[in-house]
C-alpha cells in the first residue's frame, strides 16, 4: 500500500470538497493500492495536525468530518476538535497567519516516521487557499526530497518569476491542473504538448463561468445591469461583483498558460480590460453604490453587442495568449466559431499549435465548482504517487 | 541526466515520426534533464539493436536517420545499416516474425548495463505497429521492474481481458494515450476522472477522421459513392476503403474507453454498424469491384440523410459508450449539438459524468496523423520518466 501524506492549506470550498472526496473514496483508493493520509489541515486562523510525536500518523476520518461540519457552521476547527486536542491526538497552532510556521511544519512532517509501519512517507502540500503569501513557502517546500506540491490556488503560479521558477524547477513533483479550468485537462495538455515539443502558437479561451453567464445574457439582448444583478443574486459572482468584472481572475489564468509556454511574463504584463470604468471602482464607491450605478453602462454594452452582431459576431470575454503577449478582455468572435457558439458558464479553450494548426484543439466544459475543482486536485495528488 | 531507453516496435508511419521527433528534440530534452536512448527498432521483418555486449548502449542518431530513409524508400533497415552491422555496432535478427524473439530481447536489454555510466536504465517498449500478436509479450514485459509500455497500437488494448488486465495491473508503468484520438487528451482525462472517483456516465464520440470526412460530404448533399471515391483518392482511407467503412477501428476505440470505466467487455460485445452491406464485403468482391458498386448505396444514404434533416438532425458515425454497452454506427444528432456541429475530419469526444452533468466535457481536434500521434506517444514516454 502506497501511503501519500497530505497537508491541506485551505479547507473551505474546494479544500472542504477535497477532504470529503478523500474520505468517501477510501475503499476505491485501497483497491488501487493507495491511501491518502491527511497529516494536517490549515485554515486562515489555525493549523491542526495529527500529534506525530505521540504516535498519531494522520487525522482520523471522524475528525476530518468534524472539521467539515465546523467550517460549514462557521466555527473554528480547533473548537470542534477540542476533545481530540485534550486527548493528545491532535495538535493545534492558533497563531495567525499560519504562513510563518508552515515551513517548520512541513519539515517536521517530512522528518517524522510512520510509527505503525516504521517507515517514512512523502508529503503532498495541497494549496486550496486564495493566499498569495504562502507562495515562497511552497516554492521552497518542493525542493525537499519526497515533498510534492499541488495547487488549486492560482496565486503561487502568478507570483514572481523567482517563485514560479522555484516551483517549476522540480516540475516532476509539482501539479497545478485545477488553476485553469478546474478539472478540465488544459494544463495537463499544455504540459504534454510542451514536453513533447509541439509548438503552441495561440491559446484563446473563455475562462470565467461568471463572465460567460454575463456575456450570454448580453447576447440575448438583456441590459448589462440586469444580467450582473441576476448573476449576483444567483451566487455566480463574488460578494462584490467587481472582483469578477475586473477580469483579474482570467488574467491570472492567461498568465499561467503563457508561463507554461516558457514566456517570461508577470501579472503587470497582462493587458486586462475591466468590464467597468475606473470611476466605478472600489476606490470611489461601495459595492452597493456600484450595483446602483450599473445602469450607466447598459447603453454602451447594448451598442457594442449590436456592433458585433452587425458583423456576424458575438462579444465574448476572453483570454488571448499569442506572440509573447497575454490580453484579457472583450473580443468580437465569429458567431459560428467555437467561442462564438459557447453559451452560459462553460469554459472553452482553443489551442493552436504545430499539431493542431488547421483547426485548434478544443477543451470545453464546466470550469468551476468546488466538487469539480477538488476532483482535479485529487487526480493530481494521485498522479504524484510515484514521486512522493 | 535521466536516461530512458526505448525499444520501438513499428518504425513506419507513427513510429517513424516518433524516431524523427526523438532525434530532433535532443537539445530540448537535455534541457529538461532527459535523454531518450533508442536501444532497438523492430519492423515486421527484422529487429535492429545496438550491440550491447560490445559496449554500444544505443543506436546512433545517424543510424536512426538511415533507418528512416530506408523505410521511406521501401528498403530493409538491415540493408541500409550493413556497414554498422559489419563494424559490430549493431546486431540484426532477421527471423520473421520478431514476436518470438521479442521476449528475450526485452530481457536482455533490461539486464544490460550502460557501459559508459556503469548503471542500469529502465526500458520503455513502444508499440507503434498494428500487430495483434505482440499483445501477450507486452503484457508480460510490463511485469518486469523498470519496464514500461507505451502504445499507439490499439490492438493490445482490445485483445483478451487477460492481456488487458496484465497491462493494467501495472498501470503506473503503462500509457496508451495515442490509442484514442491520437494526441488528444481523451484517455488521460478518463484516467484522471476514474482515479479521482468521478462517475463517468456516457461517452459519445466521432473518432474517425475518414468517416468524419464521409459524413460531412453526405451532409453537403453529395452522393455516398462520390465522397468515398474522393476520400480514397485523397489518401484519407486505407487502400481498401472497406477497412474504414466497416467501423472496426472506431469499435476498438469505443472498447478502449469502455474498459477504462471498468466494464468487462470484449470486441464481440461491441455492436458495430458497417457502412456497407455484407454482400459487398471482401468475401464476395475485390476492392475494385466494391468501388464500382458504391453507387448502389447512394440512394439509401441520400434517404437517411434527408430523414435526419427533416427532424433538424445530422447523421454522424459515432461511438456511444453508455449503460455498460458500446455501440458504433450511424446516429442522428441535433444539428446544434457538439457532434452535429462537427465538420470534416476532426475528432470530438463528449464525456458526461458526475462533474460534467449539465453539459458534457468536450475534447475536439485532429485525431489522426503520424506527427500528431507520435507527439502523443512521446509525451507518454516522457511522462513515465519517474517509474522507468
Tell me whether residue A188 is in a domain.
Answer: no
- How high is the pLDDT of residue A97? 57
Closest CA to A319 of A220, A242, A208: A208
Rounded average pLDDT per 10-residue block, chain A, 388 residues: 95 95 95 94 88 88 93 87 89 69 88 83 95 92 95 97 96 97 97 96 97 96 97 93 97 98 98 97 97 97 96 97 98 94 95 96 96 97 94
Measured between beta carbons, the chain A residues lying within 8 angstroms of B188 are 185, 188-189, 192
**pLDDT band of B76, cuts 50, 70, 90:** confident
- Buried b / exposed e along A1-20 (16+ C-beta atoms within 10 A): ebbbbbbbbbbbbbbbbbbb
Q: Residue B140 — left, alpha, or beta (φ > 0 → left; ψ -120 to 50 → alpha)? A: alpha
Asked if B309 and B333 touch (Cβ cutoff 8 Å), the reply is: no
Least confident of B60-69, B102-111, B199-208: B102-111
| Contacts with A223 (C-beta within 8 Å, 6 or more apart), sequence order | A295, A298, A301, A302
State whether B268 and B305 are in the same domain.
yes
The more confidently predicted of residues A352 and B73 is A352
Is residue A304 exposed (0-12), middle (13-18) or buried (19+ Cβ within 10 Å)?
middle
| Contacts with A234 (C-beta within 8 Å, 6 or more apart), sequence order | none
**pLDDT band of B93, cuts 50, 70, 90:** confident
The answer to whether the peptide bond before residue A99 is cis (omega within 30 degrees of 0) is no
- How high is the pLDDT of residue A95? 65
In sequence order, the β-bridge partners of residue A361 are: A351
* Nearest CB to B195 within list A196, A354, A379: A379
- How high is the pLDDT of residue B210? 96
Tell me whether residue A190 is in a domain.
Answer: no
Q: How far is CA A34 from CA A28, A153, A377, B198, in A?
A: 9, 25, 16, 17
- Buried b / exposed e along A241-273 (16+ C-beta atoms within 10 A): bbebbbbbbbbbbbbbbbbbbeeebebeebebe
Tell me whether residue A189 is in a domain.
Answer: no
- How high is the pLDDT of residue A4? 96
Q: How far is CA B204 from CA A330, A338, B188, B328, in A?
A: 33, 19, 16, 10
State whether A26 and A89 are in the same domain.
yes
CATH of the domain at A337: 3.30.360.10
> What's this model's pTM, rounded to 2 decimal places?
0.96
End-to-end CA distance of chain A: 13
Nearest CA in chain A to B192: A379
The yes-or-no verdict on residue B22 having pLDDT over 70 is yes
State whether B12 and B140 are in the same domain.
yes
The yes-or-no verdict on residue B98 having pLDDT over 80 is no
Tell me whether residue A318 is in a domain.
Answer: yes
State whether B228 and B108 are in the same domain.
no
Tell me whether residue B322 is in a domain.
Answer: yes
In sequence order, the β-bridge partners of residue B328 are: B272, B319
Asked if A58 and A37 touch (Cβ cutoff 8 Å), the reply is: yes
Residue B255 CA to residue B249 CA, distance in Å, equals 10
State whether B360 and B226 are in the same domain.
yes
- How high is the pLDDT of residue B289? 97
The answer to whether the peptide bond before residue A82 is cis (omega within 30 degrees of 0) is no
Q: Does the annotation flag A13 for ligand binding?
A: yes
Tell me whether residue A192 is in a domain.
Answer: no
State whether B78 and B156 are in the same domain.
yes
Tell me whether residue B128 is in a domain.
Answer: yes
Asked if A383 and B198 come within 8 Å (Cβ–Cβ), the reply is no
Phi, psi of A37 (to 5 degrees): -105, 120
Averaged pLDDT for residues B11-25: 96
Secondary structure element (H or E) that encloses residue A9, with its range: strand A2-9
Phi, psi of A35 (to 5 degrees): -130, 130
Phi, psi of A232 (to 5 degrees): -65, -45
Measured between beta carbons, the chain A residues lying within 8 angstroms of B383 are 192, 195
A160 touches chain B (CB under 8 A): no
Closest CA to A58 of A6, A99, A14: A6
Give DSSP secondary structure letters for A331-353.
Answer: EEEETTSHHHH--TT-EEEEEEE
Q: Give the pLDDT confidence of B29-60 residue by residue, as tens digits.
A: 999 999 999 999 998 888 899 998 888 889 99
The yes-or-no verdict on residue B95 having pLDDT over 70 is no
- How high is the pLDDT of residue B74? 86
Please give the residue range of the domain that contains residue A320. Answer: 197-366
Q: Does the annotation flag B344 for ligand binding?
A: no
Asked if B316 and B340 touch (Cβ cutoff 8 Å), the reply is: yes
Residue A305 CA to residue A293 CA, distance in Å, equals 20
Nearest CA in chain B to A171: B32
* Nearest CB to A355 within list B32, B193, B371: B371
Q: How many domains does chain B have?
A: 2
ipTM of the predicted assembly exceeds 0.90: yes
CATH of the domain at B10: 3.40.50.720
State whether A61 and A176 are in the same domain.
yes
Centre a 10 Å sphere on the Cβ of residue A30 and count the other Cβ atoms it contains: 11
Q: What is the dihedral of CA B236, B239, B242, B245, to 10 degrees?
A: -10
**DSSP 8-state assignment for residue B119:** B
State whether A201 and A121 are in the same domain.
no
Q: Give the pLDDT confidence of B363-375 residue by residue, as tens digits.
A: 999 999 999 999 9
Q: Give the pLDDT confidence of B217-274 residue by residue, as tens digits.
A: 999 999 999 999 999 999 999 999 999 999 999 999 999 999 999 999 999 999 999 9
* Nearest CB to B188 within list A25, A185, A355: A185
State whether A217 and A279 are in the same domain.
yes
State whether A209 and A81 are in the same domain.
no
Asked if A10 and A156 touch (Cβ cutoff 8 Å), the reply is: no
State whether A40 and A74 are in the same domain.
yes
State whether B267 and B146 are in the same domain.
no
The yes-or-no verdict on residue B18 having pLDDT over 80 is yes
Best of A375, A377, A384, A387 to disrupt the B interface (most B CBs within 10 Å) is A375
Residue B232 CA to residue B227 CA, distance in Å, equals 9
Centre a 10 Å sphere on the Cβ of residue B384 and count the other Cβ atoms it contains: 20
Asked if B192 and A359 come within 8 Å (Cβ–Cβ), the reply is no
Q: Mark whether A253 is an active-site residue.
A: yes
Asked if A196 and B378 come within 8 Å (Cβ–Cβ), the reply is yes
Measured between beta carbons, the chain A residues lying within 8 angstroms of B375 are 193, 196-198, 355
Measured between beta carbons, the chain A residues lying within 8 angstroms of B369 are 355
Beta strands in A51-173 (DSSP E): 90-93, 123-127, 147-151
Amino acid at each position: 500500500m502506497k501511503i501519500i501524506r497530505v497537508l491541506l492549506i485551505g479547507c473551505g470550498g474546494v479544500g472542504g470538497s477535497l477532504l470529503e472526496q478523500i474520505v468517501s473514496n477510501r475503499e476505491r483508493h485501497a483497491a488501487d493500492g493507495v491511501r491518502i493520509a491527511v497529516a494536517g489541515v490549515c485554515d486562515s486562523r489555525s493549523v491542526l495536525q495529527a500529534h506525530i510525536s505521540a504516535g498519531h500518523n494522520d487525522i482520523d476520518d471522524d475528525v476530518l468530518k468534524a472539521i467539515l461540519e465546523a467550517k460549514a457552521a462557521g466555527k473554528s476547527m480547533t473548537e470542534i476538535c477540542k476533545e481530540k486536542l485534550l486527548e493528545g491526538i491532535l495538535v493545534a497552532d492558533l497563531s495567525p497567519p499560519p504562513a510563518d510556521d508552515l515551513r517548520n511544519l512541513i519539515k517536521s512532517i517530512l522528518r517524522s516516521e510512520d510509527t505503525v509501519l516504521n517507515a517514512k512517507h512523502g508529503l503532498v502540500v495541497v494549496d486550496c487557499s486564495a493566499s498569495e503569501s504562502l507562495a515562497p513557502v511552497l516554492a521552497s517546500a518542493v525542493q525537499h526530497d519526497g515533498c510534492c506540491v499541488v495547487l488549486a490556488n492560482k496565486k503561487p503560479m502568478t507570483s514572481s518569476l523567482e517563485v514560479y521558477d522555484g516551483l517549476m524547477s522540480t516540475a516532476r513533483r509539482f501539479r497545478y491542473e485545477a488553476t485553469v479550468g478546474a478539472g478540465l485537462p488544459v494544463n495537463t495538455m499544455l504540459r504534454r504538448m510542451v514536453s513533447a515539443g509541439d509548438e503552441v502558437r495561440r491559446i484563446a479561451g473563455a475562462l470565467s463561468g461568471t463572465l460567460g453567464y454575463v456575456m450570454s445574457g448580453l447576447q440575448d439582448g438583456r441590459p448589462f445591469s440586469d444580467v450582473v444583478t441576476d448573476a449576483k443574486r444567483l451566487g455566480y459572482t463574488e460578494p462584490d461583483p467587481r472582483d469578477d468584472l475586473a477580469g483579474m481572475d482570467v488574467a491570472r489564468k492567461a498568465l499561467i498558460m503563457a508561463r507554461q509556454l516558457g514566456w517570461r511574463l508577470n501579472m503587470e504584463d497582462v493587458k486586462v480590460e475591466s468590464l467597468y470604468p475606473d470611476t466605478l471602482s472600489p476606490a470611489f464607491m461601495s459595492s452597493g453604490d456600484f450595483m446602483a450605478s450599473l445602469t450607466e453602462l447598459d447603453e454602451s454594452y447594448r451598442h457594442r453587442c449590436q456592433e458585433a452582431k452587425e458583423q456576424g459576431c458575438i462579444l465574448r470575454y476572453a483570454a488571448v495568449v499569442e506572440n509573447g503577449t497575454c490580453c484579457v478582455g472583450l473580443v468580437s468572435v465569429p458567431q459560428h466559431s467555437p467561442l462564438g457558439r459557447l453559451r452560459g458558464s462553460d469554459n472553452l479553450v482553443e489551442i493552436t499549435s504545430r499539431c493542431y494548426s488547421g483547426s485548434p484543439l478544443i477543451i470545453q466544459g464546466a470550469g468551476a465548482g468546488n466538487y469539480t475543482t477538488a476532483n482535479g486536485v485529487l487526480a493530481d495528488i494521485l498522479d504524484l504517487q510515484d514521486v512522493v
